[in-house]
């Protein structure tokens, strides 16, 4: 339920003068409790000031003392826990309270006598003793008795209708610092009642208010801002009552006394509403902002925190969830590990030493995971969890799987290795963001090495290189997780991904999402592991150069773990021990080479590109290692490289086998001291072994993909050449051959997978293919023809756009989408529920019956209105009824127009509430359709293809013309801000580059003579956007020194003392000058009920004076431009406004093609900006 839907009109009240004050002066913020007319006086003060203190007749002293003692006991329980988890408690009252709230320790609910209602009890919140509960209930009831007569007059509702959402306590610690000014809420009808349990003086940090800074009651339905008055900090005695509006700007002053300051509080809300207590964007606070790292699983909270603290054992035993959770998760702590690699290869230093250093004479550095803050389990692999012995896919918590609670027998250490990167030796590298836990002993008798990736800094973390303190981005870990499990399902040798956990890093000032990936493999040693002993004498050097003992230990360990058949290989005629073992190491090099060749062939047959074949990314056991750069081809391009700036396309698809062979040659060089073969001879053997193994494996793989019994290298060569010339999609091409029952059907399907005009070439190749089938006594219809092809040609592969979709979903907290994509990718030979996910981006949502040839005609198809109607069937495109809706404009009086114009001149912004904007569109359907577009891979700006946004623009344009004198300029956009993220950074819409130029000296070209701006942008949220969401924050003109200066930003810390919040219901509108300094705050990722918060979806458009900014399209196109121009405009906006990486290069090219077809209709300056943003 939302405030706008339940807000009741305030009852009329008689104007009063307080004491002998001027009736037009601000009322005093002090009122004597139970004096004649005290409730009405207090209500008037609350309306006008935003707060009021009730003096005299305080609550009973002994009751306040009992509750203060109870609060301190709770605090004494909490502080050891907080300190043990390295959280700084020397903060202001509210920030410390926020910490306590998130840890569910200090904040609690109290059930008051009927008919009072209390907030729902959250799981994991420890109960208070009965005696304490009785004291708190009595105290809150007494506070309510004093506050309610005042709030009754302000709220205009009965006592039975009001809510008390929160009843609890907050404590300000000695030595806290001042809090920044902020607003706890943004909507009318939310009030806080404070009762100090000690005297509140200047020493222990009273709350300072800006009287009148709360938004006033709207006049005529239009909200505008009022300037704040001088700061006030009421001093209170024990038991006196302070009431304040959630919207009033306030801050807690520093507690410089020697004791804490407990304050009881109540939060009142309107019917159907819930507490929206929150703080402004973290960026508004200085570095003393408090980090939190409580687990997100409330049912495990108490015991997880307590298990590391002996002095809080009682807390764990009191939690009913503890025993159940411990039984469920005990297997993790009982996992048995050995340390064979560490014992054989050596461990350097101690785990507490994280300073970067050279690791000499050893392969590992002692380390331990850096705790991950706020861990949340993103996804687990069912088969991966079973592999490590888990009783089920959900049998471990995020707290465990991210390394915050390691198995007892685990031995974490960071591996040190070197590597050739892009052909150049780079010296010491190492797992600067990963730790091995040792070899896990499996019940089957084998073993697996477990590794955690993204665990924070250690002794081999290269600070100057990673920039992430040993952490990994959540999006990257989701990609690695999905690609690893997809490759396993496709039958490609690979390391396994077990689970991925998201969280925060305390050292990350940007507070960006990071993640930890749990992996498994027979070993994580790589070619670079052997290069630590290379005798390089110039440039980068190896840390253990000439250490042949370590080199031999490395080789012996790998042979015993992964090449057991070579353990006994030796020359019995040799007396020298080193030379006797040489054949073993010689065979070891060749075996590694053959495995690597087969691995490269499997990549090539799938149309896959590893992307980073440096020797430090090449597994010694022939597995796919480090999947962050892995990619699958869409349209076949042999020169495709995962990294566009890769030198000489070294690791592109065409060169991939050569790069893998080159790495094998470097391994042979590194092992010269062991295999004792002349290097030239050894390199010839390696080359011959690799080429023979690769040729055999590739020919065999392509034979199975084509359903042939005999190898046909010439036919395959012709096919690949044809696919390159026609830009055929790799996966779809082989699917077409697999599913076709005749040559004609194959020709039709193949032409759908490539550019237009290639029919004759495909017909010619298909004739060769059909003849090949006939020579093997088979045909298209033969029952056995497609049998092998079905197991070799996947329907679904982890295409780039699918991985991007999963990564974006994870960033928004939509882990269910990651699970769904994992389920799809682990069944690669089955047709997915959404068949679009088996196609490249350009075919992703085109109907097969109408798509036809994609290539050059893609833009034409995209501008077909029927295509867009199918995409979002709830919306209209070029519908006749839309013209009538456009005529329903908003009517306002001249007085209201003058009010709004004055607000714009004074503040640079005004807001229009939902109640005064009767839109002729369904906002919920519009917001839902933006989600539909996103799921189909289209940026939000494409919502402007539909009629509904243009109807809204047509309805609002006359009002904006009357107020601002400007008209729409076709600068339209849409946004979708995921929960937990900030939508836009600090900025102004337009600079004043020509503020004072020749011929206009002294004249502001950004503003008219009457002070109205020549350009304004309008923000219309399609969903309710409270302050907890990604609402807009801004600094009013009067407090912004850079408003009329030509600089783009020009802001300072003092401006942040005057921040205003534009949060509103769905369909409200915020109108902002082009010079307004604004941004969007970071929204909460989780709502009060524990569910994921919805994304913030909004439209935006601009109005401008032609002399300031020309319209992008002729205004005669309004109110409903032709669909073709809408698509072209949306495509241009996507290219110029969307962030880099939000869509693929192929989609970007598609957008450019769409715009290019209609570019002659657009303003030249705008066309130039789109041209500059086109894909290069």
Kindly list the catalytic residues. Answer: 616
**What tokens appear for 504 in the block?**
């925060």
Q: List 379's β-bridge partners, or say none.
A: 500
> Which residue, among 501, 128, 124, has the nearest Cα to 322 in the 3D structure?
124
For every residue of 692-756, DSSP letters joined together read HHHHHHHHHHHHHHTT-SS--HHHHHHHHHHHHHTT-BHHHHHHHHHH-SSHHHHHHHHHHTS-T
Neighbours of 564 (CB within 10 A): 9
d(CA 1022, CA 1066): 5
Sign of the dihedral through C-alpha 481, 483, 486, 488: negative
d(CA 902, CA 1038): 13
Cβ burial of 890 (10 Å; 0-12, 13-18, 19+) is middle
CA distances from 566 to 290, 584, 1019 (A): 57, 6, 70
Q: Beta-strand (E) ranges in 418-542?
A: 418-421, 424-428, 434-441, 447-453, 472-473, 496-504, 514-521
d(CA 369, CA 905): 55
> Which residue, among 1046, 1048, 960, has the nearest Cα to 1003 in the 3D structure?
1046
660 close to 599: Cβ distance less than 8 angstroms: yes
Q: List 1033's β-bridge partners, or say none.
A: 1061, 1079
Strands 51-55 and 30-32, bridge-based pairing? parallel
**What tokens appear for 551 in the block?**
């080199």
d(CA 242, CA 526): 66
d(CA 1022, CA 927): 6
**What tokens appear for 272 in the block?**
């159907």
Question: b/e for 1136-1151, b at 16 or more Cβ within 10 A?
Answer: bbbeeeebbebbbbbb
Query: What angle, 0 to 180 degrees and rounded to 10, lies between the N-to-C axes of helices 61-84 and 93-103?
Result: 70
1174 close to 1152: Cβ distance less than 8 angstroms: yes
SS percent in the chain: helix, strand, coil, step 5? 40, 15, 45
Neighbours of 490 (CB within 10 A): 22
Helices (runs of H) and strands (runs of E) counted in the chain: 35, 30
**What tokens appear for 232 in the block?**
């006030």
d(CA 941, CA 934): 10
- To 5 degrees, how large is the angle CA 13–CA 15–CA 19? 125
d(CA 486, CA 489): 5
CA distances from 33 to 13, 30, 56, 620, 780 (A): 19, 9, 6, 80, 94
HSE, side-chain direction, 13 A CA sphere, residue 938: 26
Q: List 972's β-bridge partners, or say none.
A: 1101
Report the SS3 class of residue 1032. Answer: strand
d(CA 952, CA 1176): 35
């Amino acid at each position: 339920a939302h405030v706008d839907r339940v807000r009741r009109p305030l009852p009329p009240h008689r104007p009063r003068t307080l004491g002998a004050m001027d009736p037009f002066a601000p009322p005093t913020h002090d009122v004597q409790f139970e004096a004649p007319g005290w409730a009405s006086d207090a209500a008037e003060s609350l309306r006008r000031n935003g707060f009021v203190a009730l003096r005299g007749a305080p609550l009973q002293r002994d009751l306040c003392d009992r509750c203060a003692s109870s609060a301190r006991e709770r605090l004494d329980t909490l502080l050891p826990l907080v300190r043990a988890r390295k959280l700084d408690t020397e903060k202001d009252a509210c920030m410390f309270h926020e910490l306590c709230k998130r840890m569910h320790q200090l904040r609690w609910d109290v059930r008051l006598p009927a008919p009072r209602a209390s907030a729902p009890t959250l799981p994991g919140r420890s109960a208070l003793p009965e005696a304490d509960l009785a004291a708190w209930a009595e105290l809150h009831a007494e506070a309510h008795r004093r506050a309610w007569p005042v709030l009754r007059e302000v709220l205009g509702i009965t006592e039975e209708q009001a809510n008390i959402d929160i009843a609890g306590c907050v404590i300000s610690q000695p030595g806290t610092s001042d809090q920044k000014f902020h607003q706890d809420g943004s909507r009318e009808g939310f009030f806080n009642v404070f009762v100090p349990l000690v005297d509140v003086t200047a020493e222990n940090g009273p709350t300072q208010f800006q009287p009148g800074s709360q938004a006033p009651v709207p006049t005529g339905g239009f909200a505008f801002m009022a300037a704040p008055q001088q700061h006030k900090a009421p001093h209170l005695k024990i038991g006196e009552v302070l009431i304040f509006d959630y919207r009033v700007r306030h801050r807690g002053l520093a507690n410089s006394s020697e004791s804490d300051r407990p304050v009881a509080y109540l939060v009142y809300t309107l019917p159907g509403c819930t507490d929206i207590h929150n703080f402004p964007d973290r960026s508004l606070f200085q570095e003393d902002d408090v980090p939190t790292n409580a687990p997100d699983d409330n049912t495990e909270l108490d015991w997880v925190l307590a298990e590391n603290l002996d002095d809080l054992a009682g807390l764990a035993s009191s939690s009913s969830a503890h025993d159940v959770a411990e039984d469920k998760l005990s297997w993790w702590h009982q996992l048995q590990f050995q340390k064979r690699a560490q014992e054989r290869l050596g461990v350097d230093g101690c785990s507490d030493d994280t300073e970067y250093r050279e690791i000499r004479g050893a392969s590992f550095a002692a380390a331990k995971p850096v705790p991950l803050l706020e861990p949340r389990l993103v996804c687990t692999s069912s088969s991966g969890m079973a592999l490590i012995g888990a009783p089920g896919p959900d049998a471990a918590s995020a707290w465990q799987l991210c390394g915050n609670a390691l198995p007892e027998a685990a031995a974490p250490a960071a591996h040190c290795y070197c590597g050739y990167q892009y052909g150049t030796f780079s010296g010491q590298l190492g797992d600067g963001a990963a730790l091995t836990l040792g070899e896990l002993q499996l019940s089957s008798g084998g073993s697996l090495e477990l590794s955690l990736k993204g665990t924070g800094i250690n002794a081999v973390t290269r600070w100057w290189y990673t920039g992430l303190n040993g952490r990994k981005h959540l999006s990257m870990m989701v990609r690695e997780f999905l690609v690893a499990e997809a490759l396993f399902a496709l039958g490609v040798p690979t390391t396994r991904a077990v689970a991925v956990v998201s969280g925060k890093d305390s050292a990350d000032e940007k507070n960006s999402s990071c993640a930890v990936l749990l992996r498994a493999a027979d070993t994580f040693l790589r070619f670079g592991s052997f290069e630590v002993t290379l005798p390089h004498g110039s440039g980068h050097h190896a840390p253990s150069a000439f250490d042949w003992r370590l080199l031999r230990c490395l080789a012996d360990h790998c042979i015993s773990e992964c090449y057991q058949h070579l353990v006994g290989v030796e020359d019995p005629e040799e007396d020298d021990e080193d030379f006797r073992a040489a054949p073993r190491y010689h065979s070891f090099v060749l075996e590694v080479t053959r495995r690597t060749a087969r691995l490269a062939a499997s990549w090539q047959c799938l149309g896959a590109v590893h992307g980073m074949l440096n020797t430090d990314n090449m597994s010694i056991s022939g597995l796919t290692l480090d999947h962050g750069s892995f990619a699958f081809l869409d349209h076949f391009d042999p020169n495709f490289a995962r990294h566009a700036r890769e030198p000489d396309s070294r690791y592109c698809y065409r060169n991939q086998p050569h790069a893998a062979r080159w790495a094998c040659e470097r391994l042979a060089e590194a092992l010269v001291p062991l295999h004792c073969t002349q290097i030239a001879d050894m390199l010839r053997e390696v080359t011959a072994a690799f080429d023979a193994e690769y040729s055999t494996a590739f020919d065999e793989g392509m034979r199975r993909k084509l359903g042939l019994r005999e190898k046909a290298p010439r036919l395959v060569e012709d096919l690949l050449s044809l696919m390159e010339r026609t830009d055929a999609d790799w996966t779809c091409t082989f699917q077409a051959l697999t599913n076709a029952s005749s040559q004609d059907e194959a020709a039709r399907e193949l032409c759908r997978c490539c550019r237009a005009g290639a029919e004759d070439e495909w017909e010619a190749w298909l004739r060769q293919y059909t003849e090949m089938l006939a020579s093997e006594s088979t045909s298209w219809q033969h029952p056995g023809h497609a049998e092998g092809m079905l197991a070799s040609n996947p329907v679904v592969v982890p295409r780039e756009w699918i991985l991007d979709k999963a990564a974006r979903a994870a960033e928004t907290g939509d882990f269910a989408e990651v699970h769904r994509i994992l389920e799809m990718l682990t069944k690669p030979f089955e047709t997915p529920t959404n068949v679009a996910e088996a196609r490249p981006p350009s075919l992703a949502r085109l109907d097969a019956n109408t798509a036809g040839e994609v290539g050059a005609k893609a833009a034409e198809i995209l501008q077909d209105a029927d295509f867009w109607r199918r995409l979002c069937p709830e919306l209209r495109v070029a519908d006749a009824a839309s013209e009538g809706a456009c005529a329903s404009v908003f009517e306002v009086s001249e007085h209201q127009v003058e009010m709004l114009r004055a607000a714009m001149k004074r503040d640079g912004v005004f807001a229009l509430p939902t109640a005064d904007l009767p839109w002729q569109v369904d906002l919920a359907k519009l917001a839902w359709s933006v989600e539909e577009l996103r799921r189909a891979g289209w940026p939000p700006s494409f919502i402007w293809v539909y009629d509904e946004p243009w109807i809204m623009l047509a309805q609002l344009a006359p009002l904006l013309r009357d107020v601002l004198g400007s008209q729409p300029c076709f600068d339209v956009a849409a946004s979708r801000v995921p929960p937990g993220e900030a939508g836009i950074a600090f900025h102004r819409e337009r600079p004043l580059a020509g503020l004072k130029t020749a011929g206009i000296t002294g004249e502001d070209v950004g503003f008219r003579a009457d002070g109205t701006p020549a350009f304004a942008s309008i923000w219309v949220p399609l969903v309710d956007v409270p302050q907890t969401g990604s609402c807009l924050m801004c600094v009013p003109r009067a407090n912004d020194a850079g408003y009329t200066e030509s600089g783009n930003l020009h802001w300072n810390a003092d401006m942040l003392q005057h921040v205003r919040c534009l949060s509103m219901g769905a369909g409200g509108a915020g109108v902002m000058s082009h010079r307004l300094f604004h941004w969007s705050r970071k929204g909460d990722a989780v709502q009060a009920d524990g569910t994921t918060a919805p994304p913030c979806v909004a439209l935006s458009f601009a109005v401008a004076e032609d002399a300031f900014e020309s319209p992008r399209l002729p205004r005669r196109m309004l109110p409903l431009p032709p669909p073709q121009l809408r698509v072209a405009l949306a495509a241009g906006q996507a290219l110029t406004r969307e962030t880099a990486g939000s869509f693929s290069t192929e989609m970007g090219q598609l957008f450019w093609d769409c715009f290019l077809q209609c570019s002659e209709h657009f303003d030249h300056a705008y066309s130039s900006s789109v041209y500059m943003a086109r894909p290069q």
